[in-house]
Amino acid sequence: MNQNKSVKIRFKGFTEAWEQRELKDVAEIVGGGTPSTSVPAYWNGSIDWYSPTEIGQENFAKGSKRKISNEGLNNSSAKLLPAHKTILFTSRATIGEAAILEREGATNQGFQSIVTKEGVDVYFLYSYKHHLKKQALIKASGSTFLEISKNEVEGLHVPVPSGEEQAKIGSFFKLVDKAITLHQRKLNRFQKIRTTFLQKMFPKNGETKPAIRLTGFNADWEQEKLQNFAVRITRKNIKKQNNRPLTISAQHGLVDQTVYFNNRVAAQDVSNYYLIKKGEFAYNRSTSKDAPVGAVRRLVDYEEGVLSTLYLVFSITDPQHVDPNYLSYFFETTGWHSWILERAAEGARNHGLLNVSSQDFLSLPVMLPSSLEEQQKIGEFFQKIDDCMIEIGFGTRNVKVEVLDVQETTRKEDAKELFRYL
pLDDT digits (tens, 9 = 90+) for 231-269: 999 999 998 888 899 988 888 889 888 777 766 666 778
Cα 67 from Cα 52, distance rounded (Å): 15
Task: Using the 3D structure, point to which of 161, 184, 206 is the last residue of a domain.
Answer: 161
| In a shared domain, residues 30 and 142 | yes
Cα 201 from Cα 371, distance rounded (Å): 15
Task: Using the 3D structure, point to which of 369, 386, 401 is the last residue of a domain.
Answer: 369
| In a shared domain, residues 134 and 174 | no
What number of other Cβ atoms are within 10 A of residue 127's Cβ? 19
CATH code, 64: 3.90.220.20
Cα 33 from Cα 73, distance rounded (Å): 9
DSSP 80: P
Q: Which residues contact 125 (CB under 8 A, 6 or more apart)?
A: 26, 27, 87, 114, 116, 158
pLDDT digits (tens, 9 = 90+) for 68-117: 999 999 999 999 999 999 999 999 978 999 999 999 999 999 999 999 99
pLDDT digits (tens, 9 = 90+) for 205-237: 889 999 989 889 999 999 999 999 999 999 999
| In a shared domain, residues 213 and 257 | no
| In a shared domain, residues 335 and 401 | no
| In a shared domain, residues 343 and 316 | yes
Q: What pLDDT does residue 2 have?
A: 55
Listed residue (13, 14, 17, 16) closest to 3, CA to CA: 17
Task: Using the 3D structure, point to which of 142, 161, 180 is the last residue of a domain.
Answer: 161
At how many degrees (to 10) do helices 372-387 and 163-200 cross?
170
Total number of domains constituting the chain: 3
| In a shared domain, residues 48 and 155 | yes
Listed residue (377, 365, 363) closest to 326, CA to CA: 377
| In a shared domain, residues 16 and 45 | yes
Q: Which domain holds residue 57?
A: 2-161
Query: Is 246:276 a contact under the CB 8 Å cutoff?
Result: yes
Q: What pLDDT does residue 411 have?
A: 45
| In a shared domain, residues 207 and 247 | no
CA atoms within 13 A on the CB side of 84: 2
Listed residue (16, 122, 10, 14) closest to 421, CA to CA: 10
| In a shared domain, residues 374 and 325 | no
Q: What pLDDT does residue 268 have?
A: 77
| In a shared domain, residues 308 and 374 | no
Listed residue (322, 341, 225) closest to 279, CA to CA: 322
| In a shared domain, residues 214 and 225 | no
| In a shared domain, residues 357 and 240 | yes
Mean per-residue pLDDT of the chain: 87
pLDDT-flagged residues of the chain (< 50): 5, 346-349, 390-412, 414-422
